[in-house]
Structure 1
């Protein structure tokens, strides 16, 4: 008889514990459902900051809301970050939640400095990104895959040399054998070869004032010589006929 009260108390404790555990589980399910309910805790504000010109933030917000239709609590910041950085004109981004209903996104936009092989753009680091060049006055760079940084570094070096001549580079080609050719804003084509292309370009700059005095305009200059150069002249319509 003496064990009966203790046995009753034990089972009463077990039942109480089961009731508590059941209540906790049910409460957790209800809390989870509440947190997932977009109407109870919606993301009301998507706040974009940073300096950008080409990013369409209205369209970007629409993409974010479509990919993350749940509540503020259910929203996955990492997924939003990956979605934002996958957009063509976005170079870097940071994403964070701000209680109680705001998603804050800071954007760093790509800076295009050149077209690459007609279907890509280059940023100042020689990295390609896929975006439209429409309306952008950019030099056209061509070269084999993997030569983006080399081509851009060569362009920058040559453009610096030409800065005072009013003859900007409008097109640059780097061949499979890494020979350089450029076209200037005045239409002159320069063949600079594979080596010493900066010295050869300087040779052209030095001699150009004499070439410009000639009665015929210059069409191309071949500088692939240790000394001297070869000049091709524009042919008039009368001479062609």
Structure 2
């Protein structure tokens, strides 16, 4: 009986030792696998971030643009994102590109294995604003030099960009029916309108009913144009009629 107990204990001890050995062997194998995976992940990460092994070889620009310098934009991208194709931050590039004054909108995506594709929507200059900025068709100002663009000049208080542009568009459309065009438009702090035409005539339209007053000028302009003296200005700030100043007689006015 005692021998049986001793044999059972011996067998139990052997099983326990084998289980312990198996347990530690498995744990050692698991730790080794984890270490290997971590090492491989580090190697892959290092490889993907290495510009020499996975560079951004090509930056493709598309869209319709005239004023944007592609060379300048590519230089900005490569300077701000010197890493690999995988390390390149698309959001940062998007912010950088749309920060350029001539870029209105940009769409950016990566194309495997080494290309960055950029679609650009360029700002559309419509008029110069306060001699140092330009307005797009939505009345949004962007900071470029207006002089080389030869645009109509708009002036007005800060925050009145949309109002000034809408007024310009409405007046220009009305004047075009008579072959006239605006070279300069000013909107005062009190929102009074003054217009300079491309033929040199200055129109004082005042604050109220400026479109009706402009129509009054268009109606009488053929009669004024027949005069021998060139017109300097026309003051339309009257309920009825207008006042004309002639270039050769600056001190005299003719009421019509």
TM-score normalized by the length of structure 2:
0.90
Q: What is the Cα deviation at residue 8 of structure 1? A: 1.2
Mark the structure with the bigger radius of gyration.
2
What residue number does 1:153 align with?
166
1:193 to 180, 184, 206: 206
What residue number does 1:212 align with?
225
Q: Which runs of 5+ in 2 are unaligned?
A: 1-12
Q: What is the Cα deviation at residue 228 of structure 1? A: 0.5
Q: Secondary structure at the match of 1:162?
A: helix
What residue number does 1:92 align with?
105
| 1:56 aligns to 2:57 (yes or no) | no
Q: Secondary structure at the match of 1:62?
A: helix
What residue number does 2:244 align with?
231
What residue number does 1:106 align with?
119
What residue number does 2:87 align with?
74
Name the stretch that deviates more: 208-217 or 52-61.
208-217
CA distance in 2, matches of 1:202, 1:138: 24
Aligned residue-pair number: 238
Q: Which runs of 5+ in 1 are unaligned?
A: none
CA distance in 2, matches of 1:81, 1:16: 46
TM-score normalized by the length of structure 1:
0.96
RMSD across aligned C-alpha pairs, in angstroms? 1.4
2:157 to 130, 139, 144: 144
Q: Secondary structure at the match of 2:53?
A: coil
Q: Secondary structure at the match of 2:205?
A: strand
Q: Spell out, residue by residue over 1:21-75, the C-alpha distance to the aligned partner (whole angstroms, 9 max, x if none).
A: 1111111111110001111111111000000000000111011011111111111
1:178 to 191, 204, 210: 191
Q: Secondary structure at the match of 1:91?
A: strand
CA distance in 1, matches of 2:206, 2:148: 32
CA distance in 1, matches of 2:185, 2:25: 87
Q: Spell out, residue by residue over 1:69-107, the C-alpha distance to the aligned partner (whole angstroms, 9 max, x if none).
A: 111111111111111111010001100011111100000
| 1:132 aligns to 2:145 (yes or no) | yes
